[in-house]
Structure 1
Amino acid sequence: MRGQGRNYFQPVKAEIAKAVEQLKAGRLVAFPTETVYGLGADASNAQAVARLYAVKRRPADHPVIVHFDAADRAFTWAREAPEAARTLAKRFWPGPLTLILKRSALAKDFITGGQDNVGLRVPSHPVAHELLASFGGGIAAPSANRFGLVSPTTAAHVRADLGADVDLVLEGGPSEVGIESTIVDLSRGEPVVLRPGKIARADIEAALGRPVSEKAEDVPRHSGGLERHYAPRTPARLVPVHELDREIARLKDKVAVLAFSRPDERVDYWLRMPRNPQAYARKLYAALRELDSASCETILIEVPPSAPEWAAVLDRLRRACGTAVT
């Protein structure tokens, strides 16, 4: 199993046992993964999943990803596991990859949003692995926040967002990846990347030894597929670097800025971001939360490079803004 490579608080066995007990009783447990913190419910319990949807305020037809401790267990929830799925699982699981496959009888409508496919993932975070192994089944776990808002990357984010609506929060330190998993659809033959993540399209193509199709219009509904998602409450806009100075000068309200360059004294709140895409992704959601709490009227975000390694970050920023680049 891949480790986090960073310091984190490892819950003792008693806490894992308590979390399993809560899940088996139909309650909700938030837990860390390497991507973001998930809000977990027993994926075979319709009432527990209904409560998860209610707490998230998630549309009933928007499917959730089911998490497992191992590929063999995950694939029991699929009607078939094609060679491409097993190849990707062997290469990237445990890790930040979700596979969409034709569902088996174990994956009910309340998980899939009524679709004939299901999203499966085996996370690599040690706490998630211990929880899933001890639970012994699938845990439905979208991000542990209200639907459409900025995902949580710490236990404190979860508590701030959900409060008493979650029955237990397992600590696991800040999420190492910081953005959601790559989603690959294999339910319709040719592989299609539906959501970019740390595992890039080029990585998928290298593992499979063939090209991977781009997302089309008629794809399955999936996590992170809406135009506006991962969004702060404060209106945010993407601005090219050559337009940033002019936008700052033009705006008369209080402005917060997320940018690569050094702070501008005209700006009320400025956060400088790393120029490395993985480091940027790791800090992104905490940064958006910080700017969202700065009591500004607008958040301006400097557009990152258009290079392939920035695809996942740019996807999250575009959805956080809900608009195209200015």
Structure 2
Amino acid sequence: MFEVADNTKKDKKGNGMEKIKTQVIKIDKNNPEIDKIQLAAEIIKKGGVVAFPTETVYGLGANALDEKATQKIFIAKGRPQDNPLIVHIGDISDLDSLVKEVPENAKELMKRFWPGPLTLIFKKREIVPDRITGGLSTVAIRMPNHKIAIELIRQSGLPIAAPSANTSGKPSPTNSHHVIEDLYGKIDMIIDGGDTGVGVESTVLDISTDIPTILRPGFVTLEDLLEIFPRVDIDPAIQNLSEKMKPKSPGQKYRHYSPKAKLTIIQGEVGNIVEKLMSLASKYKKQGLKVGIMATKQTKNKYIIGNVLEVGDRENPQTIAANLFRVLREFDKIGVDIILAEGIEEKGIGRAIMNRMKKAAGGDVILVDRKK
């Protein structure tokens, strides 16, 4: 069994949980109002917790150098204590105080992908608390490509530890409404900066070893990285759902991104996916179950059974990445009993999309034969 932070806080009479007064403020993501950003930065500086948008998903931020502040993240999310946090910085020079060295290959990566959705693993300095690294000697760091996020970090004058701003295990939040659903009354402030763009979390790349290794696939793809390195490995833990392993990156160990309903993925040739999915939908409907179907633009009109939601365009997988978590949450609102989801090809950003879907499904994937 894994340890989950205790999320109970008794009132003065000991009669249950005392809610935190959560402020929700709207900030223009294109032209952030500095006075509003400063209000959020003051909360960070005083040891509070603020949810804020990034280009990937919404983050739940606290002072990365304050163990008491970062513990509030674990409590609010109900997050296992051995699940590392990513540290967000506002300038590359911020690395000097956090890591022992910046390898030459890291400099090339930062030049090309920072600010952006790439997290790098470095050997950490002692100033970085063990709580946010899961007891590891390394720390995960990225520089987000979002005006609100960058300005919040810079105004606070601190590195900010920030996992996704959702209840642990649920689909990640891509707008402020998702954050409010999960964390209102549990954190100090939620910044409403509109919808995020990328829609899936950053790529995590370990450069602390001889061969760069992807610990979590994301928007920066294997193919992108192979333009820089002759070889890039993919950590086998990406496919491992075991609770016994020690995670080196967020998203590796525990079931993640899960809707309330059981999720099953059907993967293979598109025509066979549709045929199999319709067969399963018919079977579940006869059993009296309410079926949700996660379809793509190319196939959504082929389904005559179930609650069909379009997740995006197969020919433009970025649209699927942007909509994936939103659609999973929509199925929660509809109240389906089971979700049948079309798989896509695992290349480029499709590798990250399928990683999130498989985690959400707990590895429940049906492979259908390809047409010959």
TM over 0.5: yes
Query: In the alignment, is residue 234 of structure 1 matched against residue 261 of structure 2?
Result: yes
**Residue from 42, 63, 66 that aligns with 2:63:** 42
Which residue identity is paired with 1:258?
M
Unaligned residue ranges in structure 2 (runs of 5+): 1-27, 238-244, 268-272, 367-372
1:25-104 matched pairs, under 5 angstroms: 25-104=46-125
Secondary structure of residue in 2 paired with 1:293: helix
TM-align CA RMSD: 1.7
Please report how far the alpha carbon of residue 151 of structure 1 lies from its aligned counterpart in structure 2 after TM superposition: 0.4
Please report how far the alpha carbon of residue 273 of structure 1 lies from its aligned counterpart in structure 2 after TM superposition: 2.6
Match of 1:255 in 2: 291
**Residue from 326, 339, 343 that aligns with 1:303:** 343
Please report how far the alpha carbon of residue 100 of structure 1 lies from its aligned counterpart in structure 2 after TM superposition: 0.7
Which residue identity is paired with 2:255?
R
Aligned residues of 2:311 and 2:324 also touching (Cα < 8 A): no
Within 2, Cα distance between the matches of 1:104 and 1:213? 26
Query: In the alignment, is residue 109 of structure 1 matched against residue 135 of structure 2?
Result: no
TM-score, normalization by structure 1: 0.93
Please report how far the alpha carbon of residue 137 of structure 1 lies from its aligned counterpart in structure 2 after TM superposition: 1.7
Aligned residues of 1:237 and 1:325 also touching (Cα < 8 A): yes
Secondary structure of residue in 2 paired with 1:48: helix
Match of 2:19 in 1: none
Which residue identity is paired with 2:35?
A
Within 1, Cα distance between the matches of 2:307 and 2:348? 32
Aligned residues of 2:86 and 2:163 also touching (Cα < 8 A): yes
Match of 1:4 in 2: none
Match of 1:321 in 2: 361
Secondary structure of residue in 1 paired with 2:42: helix
Q: 1:118 to 1:244 in 2, by over 3 A?
A: same
Match of 2:310 in 1: 271
Query: In the alignment, is residue 224 of structure 1 matched against residue 251 of structure 2?
Result: yes
Secondary structure of residue in 1 paired with 2:184: helix
Secondary structure of residue in 2 paired with 1:313: helix
Aligned residues of 2:293 and 2:306 also touching (Cα < 8 A): yes
Deviations 1:71-128 (A, max 9, x none): 2203431111111111111110000000011111221111111110000010010100
Q: 1:304 to 1:74 in 2, by over 3 A?
A: same
Please report how far the alpha carbon of residue 262 of structure 1 lies from its aligned counterpart in structure 2 after TM superposition: 2.1
Aligned residues of 1:67 and 1:123 also touching (Cα < 8 A): yes
Within 2, Cα distance between the matches of 1:290 and 1:303? 18
TM-score, normalization by structure 2: 0.82
Please report how far the alpha carbon of residue 267 of structure 1 lies from its aligned counterpart in structure 2 after TM superposition: 1.1
Which residue identity is paired with 1:250?
K
Within 1, Cα distance between the matches of 2:149 and 2:168? 22
Within 2, Cα distance between the matches of 1:219 and 1:193? 16
Please report how far the alpha carbon of residue 42 of structure 1 lies from its aligned counterpart in structure 2 after TM superposition: 0.5
Deviations 1:121-160 (A, max 9, x none): 1001010011111112210000001111100011111111
Query: In the alignment, is residue 159 of structure 1 matched against residue 198 of structure 2?
Result: no
Please report how far the alpha carbon of residue 13 of structure 1 lies from its aligned counterpart in structure 2 after TM superposition: 1.2
Please report how far the alpha carbon of residue 14 of structure 1 lies from its aligned counterpart in structure 2 after TM superposition: 1.3
Which residue identity is paired with 2:280?
E
Q: Mean alpha-carbon deviation: is it higher for 293-302 or for 223-232?
A: 223-232
Q: Percent identity?
A: 38
Secondary structure of residue in 1 paired with 2:172: coil
Please report how far the alpha carbon of residue 231 of structure 1 lies from its aligned counterpart in structure 2 after TM superposition: 1.1
**Residue from 43, 53, 64 that aligns with 1:22:** 43
Within 2, Cα distance between the matches of 1:301 and 1:195? 21
| Structure showing greater Rg | 2
Unaligned residue ranges in structure 1 (runs of 5+): 1-6
Q: 1:114 to 1:219 in 2, by over 3 A?
A: closer
Aligned residues of 1:74 and 1:122 also touching (Cα < 8 A): no
Match of 2:157 in 1: 136
Within 1, Cα distance between the matches of 2:162 and 2:155? 16
Q: 1:148 to 1:75 in 2, by over 3 A?
A: farther
Within 2, Cα distance between the matches of 1:10 and 1:40? 21
Within 1, Cα distance between the matches of 2:67 and 2:210? 30
Within 2, Cα distance between the matches of 1:262 and 1:278? 18
Please report how far the alpha carbon of residue 221 of structure 1 lies from its aligned counterpart in structure 2 after TM superposition: 2.2
Which residue identity is paired with 2:152?
L
Please report how far the alpha carbon of residue 54 of structure 1 lies from its aligned counterpart in structure 2 after TM superposition: 0.6
Within 2, Cα distance between the matches of 1:239 and 1:66? 35
